[in-house]
Amino acid sequence: MKIVGISSSPRGKNSNTLKLLNAALEGAAEAGAEVESIDVAKLKIKYCTACHSCYEKGVCNINDDYQGVLEKLLDADGIIWSSPNYITNVTAQLKTVFDRSPLVIHEQLFDGKYSLSLTTAGSDELDFVLGIMNNFMLNCGGNSIGGVGWPVARGPEAMEAAIKKSREMGKDLTEAIKEKRQYPEQEALHEAFRERFKHIILANKDEWKHNCDYWIEKGWIKE
Ligand X SMILES: Cc1cc2nc3c(=O)[nH]c(=O)nc-3n(C[C@H](O)[C@H](O)[C@H](O)COP(=O)(O)O)c2cc1C
Half-sphere exposure of 203 (CA within 13 A, CB side): 5
Residue with smaller CB distance to ligand X, 17 or 22: 17
The strands making up 114-121's β-sheet, listed across from edge to edge, are 34-39, 2-7, 78-84, 114-121, 143-151
Taking CB atoms, the residue at the shortest distance from ligand X is 84
Residue with smaller CB distance to ligand X, 39 or 107: 39
Residue with smaller CB distance to ligand X, 114 or 150: 150
Q: Could you say whether residue 117 binds ligand X (CB under 6 A)? A: no
The region that residue 32 occupies, defined by phi over 0 for left and psi between -120 and 50 for alpha, beta otherwise, is left
Distance CA 152, CA 194 (A): 39
- Pick the stretch among 52-60, 118-126, 181-189, 212-220 that binds ligand X (CB under 6 A): 118-126
Distance CA 141, CA 130 (A): 17
- CB of residue 143 to ligand X, shortest distance in Å: 25
Residues 78-97 touching ligand X, rule: CB under 6 A, are 84-88
Residue with smaller CB distance to ligand X, 60 or 152: 152
Check the CA dihedral 201-206-209-212 and report its sign. positive
Q: Could you say whether residue 11 binds ligand X (CB under 6 A)? A: yes
Q: Could you say whether residue 121 binds ligand X (CB under 6 A)? A: yes
Residue with smaller CB distance to ligand X, 92 or 216: 92
Q: Could you say whether residue 141 binds ligand X (CB under 6 A)? A: no
Distances, alpha carbon 97 to alpha carbons 4, 41, 73, 91, 177, in Å: 14, 10, 11, 10, 24
Length of the chain: 223
As beta bridge partners, residue 80 has 5, 116
Residue with smaller CB distance to ligand X, 110 or 150: 150
Q: Could you say whether residue 57 binds ligand X (CB under 6 A)? A: no
3-class secondary structure, 4: strand
Q: Could you say whether residue 166 binds ligand X (CB under 6 A)? A: no
- CB of residue 39 to ligand X, shortest distance in Å: 11
Give the residues lining the site for ligand X (CB under 6 A). Answer: 9, 11, 15-17, 84-88, 120-123, 125, 152
